[in-house]
Amino acid sequence: MVIVQHYTHSAKHYAEAIPFPGRLFPLPDRCPHPDCQAANALIRWGTYQRQARTGLGVYWIRVQRVRCKACRRTHSLLPDFLHPFRHYVISLLQQVIFLYLLAGLGINCLMKRLIGQDPPRSTIREWIASFAYGAGKLIFDLLLRSLMSVEPLGEPLDTAPPGHLDRVPSPTKRRHLERAHCFWSLAEHLYAQAKDRLPHLHFEADQLLSFVLHWLQTEEVPPRIFWSPRLSTTPTEPF
């Protein structure tokens, strides 16, 4: 389980800061493993390095590892400009999904927008497929239930699927993309609700998916939005 910590600066700032920011992240009050949940049992347990790719550069960052004294499992304090198991920063992933899903750009036009950046076409396609599966299938119902439990939706949201998704030949993938499009609108509504309850909460426009990672963690499910449907470790049933 990865613990996603709110970090308001860039990957470049994180990589160059001294001391490294992860060292200053507060320890969670409880062990995040669902079978443990021991209180005040986490200690710092070394660090490891991983990449943070922005599309324009590559930064090596140190990630703080923690260990539970009760269950002896280790966890990572991951800054939320990263998505677990992805090398690219989440703001770039969000930009790609926005351009494809909401702006309606095809892959060719999308790649032209990213000229000078390094994600290859195959990576872009994989991001879209993984977001469609993760947001459109695995966590869609969880988000809807969360919204309804806090405050039943008043006026219906404009969640009609955009016409440009009609070009997707696979009916299953098209259905996932249509639900992922709706998921985006619902996530914005969830943030608006959270902002009303917690006025100090602040995320920039390009941090919507970072906010979703935080929300997933409060729901005690893996803080992941991009789930590759091709991996055997990916769940097949919604959360």
Q: Are residues 201 and 100 in the same domain?
A: yes
Measured distance CA(190)–CA(197) in Å, rounded: 11
Measured distance CA(181)–CA(100) in Å, rounded: 10
Strand ranges for the chain from DSSP E = 2-5, 42-53, 58-68, 74-79
228, part of any domain: no
Could you give the 3-state DSSP secondary structure of residue 159?
Answer: coil
Measured distance CA(231)–CA(66) in Å, rounded: 27
Q: Percentage of the chain with pLDDT > 70?
A: 96
Q: Are residues 107 and 191 in the same domain?
A: yes
Burial class of residue 34 in the structure, from the number of CB atoms within 10 Å of its CB (0-12 exposed, 13-18 middle, 19+ buried): exposed
- In single-letter form, the type of residue at position 116 comes to G
24, part of any domain: yes
Q: Mind spelling out the 3-state secondary structure of 84-131?
A: CCCCEEHHHHHHHHHHHHHCCCCHHHHHHHCCCCCCCHHHHHHHHHHH
Measured distance CA(131)–CA(209) in Å, rounded: 11
123, part of any domain: yes
Q: Quick check: 238 and 19 in contact, CB under 8 A?
A: no
The whole-number pLDDT of residue 124 equals 96
227, part of any domain: no
Query: Which of 22, 57, 79 is the last residue in one of the domains?
Result: 79
Q: Are residues 95 and 69 in the same domain?
A: no
Q: Are residues 104 and 173 in the same domain?
A: yes
Q: Quick check: 54 and 43 in contact, CB under 8 A?
A: no
Q: How many helices (H) and strands (E) does the chain have?
A: 7, 4
Q: Are residues 53 and 10 in the same domain?
A: yes
Specify the pairing of strand 2-5 against strand 42-53. Answer: unpaired
Q: Are residues 49 and 112 in the same domain?
A: no
pLDDT band at 7 (very low <50, low <70, confident <90, very high): confident
The pLDDT tens digits of the residues spanning 127-172 come to 999 999 999 999 999 999 988 887 665 555 556 778 889 989 999 9
Q: Are residues 96 and 184 in the same domain?
A: yes
The whole-number pLDDT of residue 115 equals 86
Q: Does residue 110 surpass a pLDDT of 70? A: yes
Q: Does residue 62 surpass a pLDDT of 90? A: yes
Measured distance CA(79)–CA(43) in Å, rounded: 18
Say how many CA atoms lie within 13 Å of 9 toward its Cβ: 10
Q: Are residues 56 and 114 in the same domain?
A: no
Q: Are residues 107 and 180 in the same domain?
A: yes
Q: Are residues 204 and 110 in the same domain?
A: yes
Q: Quick check: 176 and 227 in contact, CB under 8 A?
A: no
170, part of any domain: yes
Q: Are residues 63 and 114 in the same domain?
A: no
Q: Which residue has the tokens 């390094």?
A: 118
State the total domains in the chain: 2
19, part of any domain: yes
Query: Which of 13, 45, 79 is the last residue in one of the domains?
Result: 79
Q: Quick check: 138 and 221 in contact, CB under 8 A?
A: no
Query: Which of 14, 45, 79 is the last residue in one of the domains?
Result: 79
Torsion region of 65: left, alpha or beta (phi above 0 gives left; psi -120 to 50 gives alpha): beta
The whole-number pLDDT of residue 140 equals 96
The whole-number pLDDT of residue 219 equals 92
229, part of any domain: no
Q: Are residues 64 and 19 in the same domain?
A: yes
Per-residue pLDDT, averaged over 39-43, amounts to 97
Domain of residue 94 covers 90-218
The pLDDT tens digits of the residues spanning 77-98 come to 999 999 999 999 999 999 999 9
196, part of any domain: yes
